[in-house]
Structure 1
Amino acid sequence: MVRNAESRSTAFDEQEPILEVDKTQQDAAATGHKDNSRKAYYREFRKVLENADVVLEILDARDPIGTRTLQVERMIMDSGVSKRVILVLNKIDLVPKENVDKWLKYLRNEYPTIAFKASTQNQRRNLGHSSVATDAATEDLLKSSECLGADMLVSLLKNYCRSVNMKTSITVGIIGYPNVGKSSVINSLKRSKVCGVGSTPGFTKVAQQITLDKNIKLLDCPGIVFAQQGQDGRTDAEIALRNCIKVELLEDPITPVEVIVARCPTEQLMTMYDVPYFESANEFLISLAQKWGKLRKGGIPDTHLVARTVLNDWNGGKIKFWTEPPAADKSHIGASVVTSWGEALDMNFA
């Protein structure tokens, strides 16, 4: 056990440069603090990776690629440590079913991927589960407060335990961007509210261990922003739209709204906010400010205040939006690696 722990630590120490790409400003904004708490967050993050046998990477179904931590996936695969990655496509109730199917087909070329809808119930005990498969769920069931996909995910984890002949429990690390629903997934798997849940980034600040059953222990990791401006095509505005930075701490809330206006059909925003036709984000925000009476001295529309409200609507899922998977893309992991995982993470284990 000591040798295993040492090898794990050494393997991830060698990957340290990958974890240093985040900007201090983004980390401080994401956690809600002005001081640099990046090292503390990385320490908690690395604790999860080092101790996990299986890593669940939680993705937002509306933007799976935008919420993937490819650097961490590469770090796990390149470390030489025997770990497995499972992708969990959360919030499937916010996108059309056919879009979910496309993403599952795309992502399963690289990793086992589970469609998931976390429970939205507020009580601490007996969070509802549905045994209905996600691909067979009705619209009413998707809109309900019950969890979907938990049975499939737990079965996959237990299948891994059996396949590798583990006599003791496995530790499952939960990682992902802020607000992709890591704690909600854990609560749904546990069927009770064991983790705090917040709609703002930085809610989970330390790694939390939860015992799911005698075979499975879960480690919830704080959400960390890994993307630097310009890296993988991700601008500061793109990062803000992933709810990685608290809206109230944004110096410029206008630019992210410009991205929203560019992404969403004009008619959709006109109908949702009951505003007349507009040709730019500035016109859109001016109309909203006038409609809501958000005016500064002299009757000047307070577009910054209105922009923050629009961003909160975006982060809360009120503005409907989803992405399409690329038509073709080369995997960053080899097909031979995927094949070598064998039946341990076979999606057809039933």
Structure 2
Amino acid sequence: MPQQRRKLPFSGKKKKDQLLQKRNTKGPPKYLRSTQESYEDSDAPETTAPRKLMEQPFNRGGAGGRNKNVNRYNLQFTQESKKELELMKLEGFKPLDVLTPAQREIDAAYFEHFDFPVRPPWSSDSTKEQLDRSENRYFKEYVDELLRQKQSVDSRELSLFELNLETWRQLWRVLEFSDVLLIIVDVRFATLMFPPSLYDYIIKTLKKHAIVVFNKVDLVAPEAVVAWRHYFNERYPELPVVLFASYTARSRKAGGRGRGRLTHRRSMEGVYNIYRECQRYVQQEVNLSEWEQKIRDDMRHDELELMDNIEEGELKISSSIDTTPVQQEKYHNGVLTIGCIGYPNVGKSSLINALKGRKVVSVSRTPGHTKHFQTIFLTEKVRLCDCPGLVFPSSTPKSLQVLLGSFPISQLQVPYRSLKLLAEHINLPQLFRLHLPEDYDEWSAVAISDAWAYKRGFLTAKAARPDRYRAANHILRMCLAGQQQLVLQFYPPGFDKQRETWLQHPELAEVIKYQQVELEEPDSETNEDTSSVCSDTAGSDEEEDEDSSNDETNADDDEGVEEQPSRSRNVFTLLEDD
């Protein structure tokens, strides 16, 4: 038998070099990034190629045997460079800089240098192919111009915004199709989700009516809601403000019908206010009496009873992907068309379900859940038009966009910059009762991630090291869900100086009624734990259709957070300035 060659020691570094040489002989890798280039020393230009999020395999079959592009309406943003990703990782080790109350005040300056793409001029004589070429050419020129602004010295940093032309076409169609536009914003970040250019285009160019809906007012301190309302009334005098609460903590007990009635009644109050503003606009041109009667009937019924009595034949929902421009007639056939537009994850679907009186569209915290616009008839004379949420060009940092819900957390490659921003607004170590790990001298985003990983048991499989990425991801998801104490909110300019004025404002009582929560007493015969404030009972209605594998904010993951009373209380009595 021939003698075998003696085995020599083989280091891990040499093995990596061997694998790298093997990959280079096969050509550029498909899925792996090359490690030859140093991130910090690289002078390569940053790539601006669009990155399609949540991409699915191309479907070549289907029921009709025709190719179907399932990724046509996916969100698209600019890809980060390798150097940016490495710098974001290093930034996670920097100490936290706690912000002052004045630094939490924001205005519309993020949109100063940016407008949004509108449909280019068109003619009824043009063919569909000509319109398509014209819109593609216009959108490419628009994006190129924004990128040139980004490179200029005087321009502020350009944030990630929607790069999918198909999504913008949905907006154009809804703007043309609707008589009254509902601009839904998350009141926690009011000015960050309200482009002034959109307001000017609707009011001054299209000559149409608009209503701004402050959604999730039950998550924000009531004095901040009042201050935001007055800020919008002063800056946008032709824009009425309506309050709406799509988030209300649900009962821990399965049979909590009282909580469902309370939630439904508050939602219907917001719906009735929208009806009153629409009635003020249309006057006698459209008969809205049937809609008013429907709202009153829905107010008298339990939400669960409405769901039980639903009949399939009652729903009139039509989805459309035809975005061809059409000259729309005002109140066509005596029908009022209400369009719903806004950023991703602001609660448009929840508002539509409340307007309809029952669940007719699915909701999710994942941005891009609604793919194309759809029309829903409330009555024979009133119909809704839902538009996919999209991100407008602005100078909002990407780290903040993640906390706004505009960018999917599941697609976030480095979460530490967003976590650092959150920790500078909210005292996370105090809130979660964390202990500084031994390897750190002071708190940073990575230190918070490691501490939360130790506390929750998020450890890697082989080395049992803290899974800091999973821990950071988990905290960001809890913030996005708005789970009680973990609420990030901003304030209008001058809020801190006038805080006492807003605390005594007569409109404060109107806002507080949206935030009173009746918590049920725990069953004395059970040992159910009621000490968690970040449990699954605090989830909003927008998490119902999200896959549980993508959302780790379950009841067993929220142990060790501050206790809360079990009686009726306002959720903001426990919030204090950091």
User: What range describes the TM-score normalised by the shorter chain of this pair?
Assistant: 0.7 to 0.9
The AA in structure 2 aligned to 1:155 is R
Alpha-carbon separation, structure 1, partners of 2:271 and 2:263: 15
Of 359, 375, 378, which residue of structure 2 is paired with 1:193? 359
| SS of the residue 1:179 aligns to | coil
SS in 1 for 2:339: strand
**Separation in structure 1 between the aligned mates of residue 248 and residue 379 of structure 2, nearest angstrom:** 22
TM-score (norm 2): 0.45
Uncovered stretches (5+) of structure 1, i.e. residues with no partner: 1-10, 28-35, 123-139, 329-350
Q: Which residue of 2 aligns with 1:112?
A: 240
Q: How does 1:318-333 map to 2 (within 5 A)?
A: 318=483, 319-327=486-494
**1:236, 1:306 → 2: CA distance?**
20
Q: Which has the larger radius of gyration?
A: 2
1:55-108 C-alpha deviation (Å, 9 max, x unpaired): 1110101111112133322332452x2211210000111012222111111112
Query: Aligned to 1:210, what secondary structure does the other structure show?
Result: strand
Per the TM alignment, residue 298 of structure 1 is displaced from its structure 2 partner at its CA by 3.4
The residue number in structure 1 matching 2:170 is 44
| Bigger share in helix | 1
2: CA distance between counterparts of 1:304 and 1:119?
28
Partner of residue 54 from structure 1, selected from 147, 156, 180: 180
Identical aligned residues as a percent: 28
Contact 1:119 1:188 in 2 (8 A): no
- Which of 284, 305, 310 is the matching residue for 2:475? 310
Decide which moves more: 211-220 or 275-284: 275-284
C-alpha RMSD of matched pairs (Å): 3.1
- The within-5 A match list for 1:1-350 is 12-13=119-120, 20=143, 27=162, 38-79=164-205, 81-109=206-234, 110=236, 111-118=239-246, 144=263, 146=265, 147=267, 148-162=269-283, 168-227=334-393, 231-232=394-395, 234-264=396-426, 266=427, 269-276=428-435, 279-296=443-460, 297-318=462-483, 319-327=486-494
How far the C-alpha of 1:24 sits from its partner, in A, is 11
Are the structure 2 counterparts of residues 258 and 142 from structure 1 closer, same or farther at C-alpha, using a change threshold of 3 Å? farther
Q: Indicate how the Cα distance of structure 1 residues 245 and 56 shifts in structure 2: closer, same or farther if over 3 A, else same.
A: same
Cα separation, partners in 2 of 1:85 and 1:292, compared to 1, 3 Å: same
Whether the aligned pair in 1 keeps the contact of 2:219 and 2:247 (CA below 8 Å) is: no
- CA deviations 1:2-51 (Å, max 9, x no partner) are xxxxxxxxx84259669756999764xxxxxxxx7x12211212111111
Letter in 2 for 1:13: P
Secondary structure at the counterpart of residue 340 of structure 2:
strand
* CA displacement 1:132-173 (0-9 Å, x = unmatched): xxxxxxxx9997454141111111112211166767122111
TM-superposed CA distance for 1:244, in Å, is 1.2
Following superposition, the deviation at residue 317 of structure 1 comes to 0.5
Cα deviation, 1:207-257, whole Å, max 9, x if unaligned, reads: 010112233211110011113xxx33x111111111112111111111111
2:455 alignment partner, SS class: helix
Distance 1:316 1:19 in 2: 34
Q: SS at the partner of 1:301?
A: coil
Counterpart amino acid of residue 291 in structure 1: K
User: What's 2:524 paired with?
Assistant: none
In 1, the alpha carbon distance for the partners of 2:264 and 2:489 equals: 21
